[in-house]
């Protein structure tokens, strides 16, 4: 495979195995307000900014006829659960080796995540190898207007690296992230999570140029 001008990486579920922890935190928080979140809805929260997920969960609570909490009330339940669980997030297969290989090949890299600065720092602290990626577009980046699935995060990352989006390889695991990278014009590599509903897997495939079993499957010379 030809080398890209840059590689743009999601974080949650792609470099670190955080998605089951996020799902559990949202599920438990929603249940506190009378809403059960089935797997399909939890999948729809993947890859999106915290503020966007708060709006979505509150909308679902309203649809269920339950008393709708404020954003602060919902996060007061969800965040402590998430922070406790995320301490144990492990690297995804092949993630560290791939970043080290790209560094050795002098391929530019950027992290493109919907997580905010504080959350990223907590998740990355146990994994110094993630410091290989110095350029980062975060969910609360002051220069970011709209989050995934809009193209803005990947466009901003390409701009900061000084490369054309079409010359970038984007790596994602979520539908929102894959749609964002596709809309930005990147070459989209998707590592689908396990136990995805068929409908979401089909949408992921439609948004991907390449499907990978894991990041360990990517070969670069």
pLDDT tens by residue, 187-217: 999 999 767 777 788 888 899 999 999 999 9
In this model, does residue 160 exceed pLDDT 90?
A: yes
CA distances from 195 to 20, 41, 181, 198, 200 (A): 11, 13, 23, 9, 10
pLDDT of residue 81: 95
In this model, does residue 93 exceed pLDDT 70?
A: yes
Alpha-carbon gap, residue 73 to 69, rounded angstroms: 6
pLDDT, tens digit, for every residue of 112-148? Answer: 999 999 999 999 999 999 999 999 999 999 999 999 9
Q: Where residue 55 falls among pLDDT bands split at 50, 70, 90?
A: very high
Residues contacting residue 149 through CB under 8 Å, at least 6 positions apart:
47, 48, 175, 176, 177, 179, 180, 183
**Do β-strands 210-211 and 187-190 pair in parallel, antiparallel, or remain unpaired?**
parallel
Q: Are 183 and 150 in contact (CB under 8 A)?
A: yes
Q: How many residues does the chain have?
A: 221
Fold of 6-17+90-217: Rossmann fold (3.40.50)
Assigned token pair, 59: 């909308």
Assigned token pair, 79: 């965040």
How many CB atoms are closer than 10 A to CB 209?
A: 14
Q: What is the pTM of this model?
A: 0.86
Any idea which residues carry the catalytic annotation?
Answer: 10, 12
pLDDT of residue 52: 94
Assigned token pair, 46: 């993947």
């Amino acid at each position: 495979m030809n080398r890209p001008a840059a590689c743009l990486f999601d974080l949650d579920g792609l470099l670190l195995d955080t998605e089951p922890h996020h799902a559990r935190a949202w599920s438990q928080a929603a249940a506190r307000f009378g809403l059960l979140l089935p797997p399909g809805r939890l999948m729809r929260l993947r890859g999106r900014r915290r503020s966007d997920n708060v709006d979505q969960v509150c909308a679902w609570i309203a649809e269920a006829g339950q008393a709708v909490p404020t954003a602060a009330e919902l996060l007061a339940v969800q965040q402590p659960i998430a922070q406790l669980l995320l301490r144990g997030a492990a690297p995804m297969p092949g993630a560290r080796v791939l970043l080290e290989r790209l560094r050795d090949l002098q391929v530019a890299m950027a992290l493109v995540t919907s997580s905010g600065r504080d959350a990223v720092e907590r998740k990355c602290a146990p994994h110094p190898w993630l410091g290989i990626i110095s350029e980062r577009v975060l969910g609360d980046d002051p220069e970011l207007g709209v989050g995934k699935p809009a193209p803005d995060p990947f466009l901003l990352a390409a701009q900061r690296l000084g490369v054309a989006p079409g010359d970038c390889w984007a790596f994602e695991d979520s539908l929102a992230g894959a749609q964002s990278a596709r809309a930005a014009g990147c070459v989209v590599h998707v590592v689908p999570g396990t136990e995805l509903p068929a409908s979401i897997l089909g949408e992921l495939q439609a948004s991907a140029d390449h499907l990978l079993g894991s990041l360990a499957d990517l070969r670069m010379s």
